[in-house]
Structures are given as structure tokens and as C-alpha cells.
């Protein structure tokens, strides 16, 4: 596998760039990316110094150049409290974002959520087991995959289902690594990429592949959506590196370990998770805890070099963002954001430091519910998948002798009606609230939301026409079939004003 990487096109680009002995700043984007991949590969196979495979393709001068590239001054000392920490503070946050004691005052982490930051250990190349990851996928280098990763920010063409095929079921780690790299966070924050890859690989495994919807493909989709938002509009320029890492990390782990059933189901069945989290945002609390537990594994702890204060800040941020993905908080999230927007306007720099998290929460929530804002060929597929999962829950409810939730009842629920409700009363208000804050992204999304609404309206009319024809054709037998129902807010456990029509969970 390692030899294959060195023979890949990516490695050839890196070696050609090194051959010219140019400084990092003189490389073009593709060359810089290729050299970073080479360095990443080297960190896994034992470094550039005396590597027999590399000896064949680089002379001594080129190898020395590569080593100097590997350890720029800002990364040479990663000991917490050392000089690198002082330097890192210059690039972790932009100039006008408050630091130190004036960090945004996030609420304390909920009790019972475990996962702390292991102490930073020796700097340098960590001793971690090699395992299959997006690294090999990239090394094998299908041109289609390379093209997809180059267009990672593209809202129109990104196809997460195809990405899952191309990466042999590893879309999440592929998207996450590419996004963190693309935004320069790995380099600027000095994140050890081998640990990051191990973490991402574990997270992807912890998503349940048997869920029709809440699997790692959904997490990859949400992570890419967030990346597309960050790339499209200028607000991202005013986010600190820690804030950017916070939203991306939250997107990556926001549904990890999802059991494929709703919070309501977990409460009704008196599940262990419901008891552990006192019936409060059970799944969301569980995702947070599961994500941080994976991060706490020594071989996964890619945040170990962050100053302790920065880690605590990042952890509080990620927890708040993930808890806000609970659909029961949807209306509150939109209202909080809208109120802040009215008060301070669309430029994030004008927002009170402790309110910036409100914007970050809504961004990740919008990414989480962005299916109908995708091109129709993707949004219709996501609509089908989410209902497949709902119906699987309905089957479990029936098997347990529980009343079957309206939206989960495969005999009665109408997929088009549910999707229309979701688009109209959940997705539209959220994206409308974001329109002033992220105008370019919302401008791309809105035509697709219109198209999705039109499509599901047509599907609903067809479904109703078919039902009417069946009723006429079968007479009394048809009359015995229960009528189609739309879910109520109570059934869906959304906290909405009573005058609002029903909406759907995600």
C-alpha cells in the first residue's frame, strides 16, 4: 500500500515540486496539497530521514528540503506552555475576536458527558497503528475522486452517494479530512494528521451503516454542506480557527452512534440512554459523549497539542452546537438567531462575543436539515431514506405493542405530505433566517428548495389520485383502509407555536 502511494500521481506531483527546491510559499495549490499528502504518508511510514523508498526518488538535498518543510518553526515546539503556544495564539483567532478571559462565555458542559483531553505527550511523530483510511483511498487515486475532492465546496455537483462508492464506504473521513485541510486548519493549528485520521476512521465506524438515514453518509453530507457554507460567504473570514474547527467537528460527530430511532421512542421504551440523560435531548447528548470518548483515545487525540484553555473552549462549543441539532430546539434556534441578527446585523464582527455561538449553532442545524436544499436528484433520495428509517422505527413500535407514531406508520403515512411539511415549516424558515447572513449560499439553495416543494406536491397529487382510483375500484374493501394522516407536532415532539402546522423530525 505504501509503495503504491509513492507510485501515485499525487506523489509524482510532490516529488516534482520538491525537485525544484522551491519554498512552500512558491508552490501552487496542487503542489502544496501533494507535498502535504507525501508528508502525511511519511508520518505513517517512519519519516523522510533514511526512508528506503524515498531514497530512490529524492536526493539528499531534496530530502533535507522536505524535512525543513515538515517542521516549520511554528510547529517545531508543540509543548504546551512553550514558545509555540505563544505563536499559535496569533493564528488561532482573528485580530478582533476576544481571547483568553474574554472568550465567549459558553454554558458549562452538561454533567455526565465524558471525554477529556489526554495530556499532550512527546511531540513529533506519534506511535499509532496504521489502519485503512481515506489516505489509501486518495493514494489509489481515482481521477473521479480527485475531481470530487477538488470541488468539495461545490453545492451543485457534490454527490455524497457516489463518494461513498468511490471510497469504499468511507465518505465521512474523506470529506472531513479534505475540508479541514482545505481550510488550512490542520497546518495552522498544528493538528497531528495521523491521529486525526485514526479519529475519523473510528467515528465513521461508530456510525451505524444499517441505518437507512443516520449513517456516515449523512454525516459526510452535513459536513460537506457546512464546508460549502463556509466557502460561499464572507462571514467565514471572521470566524476564528477554533470556531471553524468547532463547527466542522460538530458536523462530523453530530449523529455518531445514532440508534435509528427518535428521542421519543427512547423515552417511551425507557431505554438506558433515556435514563442516563433524563429524557433530555437523549440522542444528541449521546452523540456528544460518544464523539468525545473516541477523541479521548490516545491514538485519536488530534487536539492534544492545543493549549488546555483552547481545548475547553472548543469542547464547550461543540457540545452546544450538537445539542442544538435536536429538532425540538429548531424554533428556538431560528428565533434566537433572528433576534441577534436584528440587533447586530449580518456582520459577525459586530455580534456580542457570547452570541456568536448562536450563529454557529444555526449554521450546523441548517446543514443538518439541508437535504431539500440540494439538487432534486439528491434531495428526493434523502427523502426516501429518511422515511425508510422512520418506517423501520414504526415496525419496532408495532413489534413492541406500542402505538405506532403517525410518521412512522408505513401503512398510513404519506411521504410526500411529510416532506412538504418539512420543507415548508422547517427548512424554509431556517434558510430564510440565514439569507442575510449567508446570502450567496442561501441564493444557491433556494431554487432547489422550490424545486423540492414542487416535486413533493406533484408526488402528493399522484398519490391522492391513485388512492381515489383505488377507493372507487375496490369499494368496501378500500373503505376499511385507515385514512392517510399527517403527523402532529406532539407526535413529532417539536416545540412549535400552536398555530403552526405539523413539522418533521430529522
CA distance 77 to 82: 7
Shortest distance, position 255 Cβ to Zn ion, whole Å = 4
The residues with which 485 forms a beta bridge, in sequence order, are 413
255 labelled binding-site residue? yes
Shortest distance, position 137 Cβ to Zn ion, whole Å = 23
208, 210, 214, 448: which is the annotated catalytic residue?
214
Nearer to Zn ion, 310 or 368 (CB): 368
Nearer to Zn ion, 368 or 409 (CB): 368
Helix axes 282-296, 193-206, angle to 10 degrees: 140
DSSP 58: -
Q: Quick check: 244 and 230 in contact, CB under 8 A?
A: yes
Nearer to Zn ion, 13 or 427 (CB): 427
Site for Zn ion in 48-67 (CB under 5 A): none
3-state DSSP of 101-138: HHCCCCCCCCCCCCCCCCCCCCCCCCCCCCCCCHHHHH
Number of residues that bind Zn ion (CB under 5 A): 2
368 labelled binding-site residue? yes
216 labelled binding-site residue? yes
Among 55, 68, 72, which Cα is nearest to 15's? Answer: 55
Nearer to Zn ion, 88 or 361 (CB): 361
Site for Zn ion in 369-428 (CB under 5 A): none
CA distance 148 to 442: 22
Shortest distance, position 254 Cβ to Zn ion, whole Å = 6
CA distance 465 to 349: 53
Grid coordinates representing 374?
A: 440540494
Q: Does residue 258 have an active-site annotation?
A: no
CA distance 44 to 67: 15
Q: Quick check: 451 and 376 in contact, CB under 8 A?
A: yes
Decide if residue 243 touches Zn ion (CB under 5 A). Answer: no
Helix axes 282-296, 241-253, angle to 10 degrees: 110
CA distance 179 to 18: 24
CA distance 376 to 338: 28
Shortest distance, position 287 Cβ to Zn ion, whole Å = 9
Nearer to Zn ion, 14 or 252 (CB): 252
CA distance 466 to 22: 68
Nearer to Zn ion, 145 or 426 (CB): 426
Nearer to Zn ion, 135 or 368 (CB): 368
Decide if residue 368 touches Zn ion (CB under 5 A). Answer: yes
Shortest distance, position 263 Cβ to Zn ion, whole Å = 13
Among 314, 142, 335, which Cα is nearest to 242's? Answer: 314
3-state DSSP of 7-32: CCHHHHHHHHHHHCCCCHHHCCHHHH
254 labelled binding-site residue? yes
- Which are the contacts of 95, defined by CB distance < 8 A and separation ≥ 6? none
Provide φ and ψ at 66, rounded to 5°: -65, -40
214 labelled binding-site residue? yes
Site for Zn ion in 247-266 (CB under 5 A): 255
Q: Quick check: 393 and 262 in contact, CB under 8 A?
A: yes
287 labelled binding-site residue? no
Q: Quick check: 174 and 149 in contact, CB under 8 A?
A: yes
End-to-end CA distance of the chain: 39
Site stretch for Zn ion (CB under 5 A), options 43-51, 66-74, 362-370, 386-394: 362-370
Nearer to Zn ion, 204 or 255 (CB): 255
Grid coordinates representing 40?
A: 502525511
Shortest distance, position 260 Cβ to Zn ion, whole Å = 12
Shortest distance, position 449 Cβ to Zn ion, whole Å = 18
Site stretch for Zn ion (CB under 5 A), options 5-13, 363-371, 450-458, 465-473: 363-371
CA 13, 15, 21, 25 dihedral sign is positive
Decide if residue 284 touches Zn ion (CB under 5 A). Answer: no
Shortest distance, position 222 Cβ to Zn ion, whole Å = 6
Known binding site: residues? 214-218, 254-255, 368, 419
Site residues, Zn ion (CB under 5 A) = 255, 368
Known binding site for AMP: residues? 214-218, 255, 368, 419
Known binding site for Zn(2+): residues? 218, 254-255, 368
Could you give the residue numbers annotated as active site? 214
Amino acid at each position: 500500500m505504501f509503495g503504491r502511494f509513492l507510485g501515485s500521481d499525487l506523489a509524482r506531483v510532490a516529488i516534482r515540486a520538491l525537485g525544484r527546491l522551491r519554498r512552500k510559499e512558491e508552490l501552487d495549490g496542487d503542489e502544496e496539497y501533494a507535498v502535504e499528502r507525501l508528508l502525511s504518508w511519511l508520518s505513517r511510514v517512519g519519516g523522510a530521514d533514511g526512508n528506503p523508498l524515498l531514497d530512490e526518488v529524492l536526493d539528499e538535498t531534496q530530502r533535507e528540503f522536505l524535512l525543513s518543510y515538515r517542521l516549520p518553526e511554528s510547529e517545531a515546539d508543540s509543548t504546551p506552555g512553550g514558545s509555540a503556544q505563544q505563536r499559535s495564539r496569533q493564528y488561532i483567532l482573528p485580530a478582533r475576536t476576544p481571547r483568553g478571559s474574554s472568550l465567549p462565555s459558553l454554558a458549562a458542559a452538561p454533567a455526565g458527558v465524558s471525554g477529556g483531553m489526554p495530556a499532550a505527550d512527546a511531540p513529533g511523530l506519534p506511535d499509532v497503528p496504521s489502519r485503512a483510511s481515506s489516505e489509501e483511498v486518495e493514494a489509489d487515486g481515482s481521477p473521479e475522486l480527485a475531481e470530487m475532492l477538488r470541488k468539495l465546496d461545490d453545492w451543485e455537483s457534490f454527490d455524497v452517494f457516489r463518494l461513498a462508492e468511490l471510497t469504499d464506504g468511507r465518505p465521512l473521513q474523506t470529506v472531513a479530512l479534505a475540508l479541514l485541510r482545505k481550510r488550512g486548519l490542520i497546518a495552522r493549528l498544528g493538528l497531528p494528521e495521523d491521529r486525526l485520521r485514526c479519529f475519523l476512521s473510528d467515528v465513521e465506524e461508530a456510525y451505524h451503516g444499517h441505518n437507512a438515514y443516520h449513517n456516515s453518509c449523512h454525516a459526510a453530507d452535513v459536513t460537506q454542506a457546512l464546508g460549502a457554507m463556509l466557502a460561499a460567504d464572507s462571514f467565514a473570514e471572521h470566524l476564528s480557527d477554533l470556531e471553524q474547527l468547532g463547527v466542522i467537528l460538530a458536523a462530523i460527530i453530530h449523529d455518531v452512534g445514532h440508534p435509528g430511532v427518535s428521542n421519543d421512542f427512547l423515552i417511551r421504551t425507557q431505554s438506558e440512554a433515556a435514563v442516563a440523560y433524563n429524557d433530555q435531548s437523549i440522542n444528541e447528548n449521546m452523540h456528544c459523549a460518544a464523539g468525545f470518548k473516541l477523541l479521548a483515545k490516545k491514538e485519536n487525540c488530534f487536539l492534544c497539542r492545543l493549549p488546555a484553555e483552547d481545548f475547553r473552549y472548543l469542547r464547550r462549543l461543540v457540545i452546544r452546537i450538537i445539542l442544538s441539532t435536536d429538532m425540538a430546539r429548531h424554533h428556538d434556534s431560528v428565533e434566537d438567531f433572528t433576534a441577534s441578527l436584528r440587533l447586530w446585523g449580518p456582520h459577525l464582527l459586530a455580534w456580542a462575543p457570547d452570541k456568536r455561538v448562536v450563529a454557529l449553532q444555526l449554521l450546523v442545524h441548517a446543514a443538518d436539515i439541508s437535504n431539500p436544499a440540494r439538487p432534486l436528484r439528491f434531495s428526493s433520495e434523502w427523502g426516501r431514506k429518511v422515511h425508510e428509517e422512520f418506517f423501520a422505527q414504526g415496525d419496532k413500535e408495532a413489534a413492541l405493542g406500542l402505538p405506532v407514531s403517525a410518521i412512522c406508520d408505513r401503512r398510513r403515512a404519506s411521504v410526500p405530505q411529510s416532506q412538504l411539511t418539512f420543507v415548508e415549516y422547517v427548512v424554509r424558515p431556517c434558510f430564510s433566517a440565514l439569507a442575510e447572513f449567508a446570502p450567496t449560499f442561501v441564493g444557491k439553495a433556494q431554487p432547489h428548495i422550490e424545486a423540492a416543494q414542487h416535486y413533493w406536491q406533484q408526488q402528493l397529487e399522484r398519490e391522492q389520485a391513485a388512492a381515489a382510483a383505488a377507493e372507487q375500484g375496490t369499494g368496501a374493501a378500500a373503505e376499511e383502509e385507515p385514512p392517510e394522516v399527517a403527523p402532529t407536532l406532539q407526535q413529532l415532539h417539536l416545540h412549535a407555536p400552536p398555530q403552526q402546522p405539523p413539522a418533521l423530525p430529522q
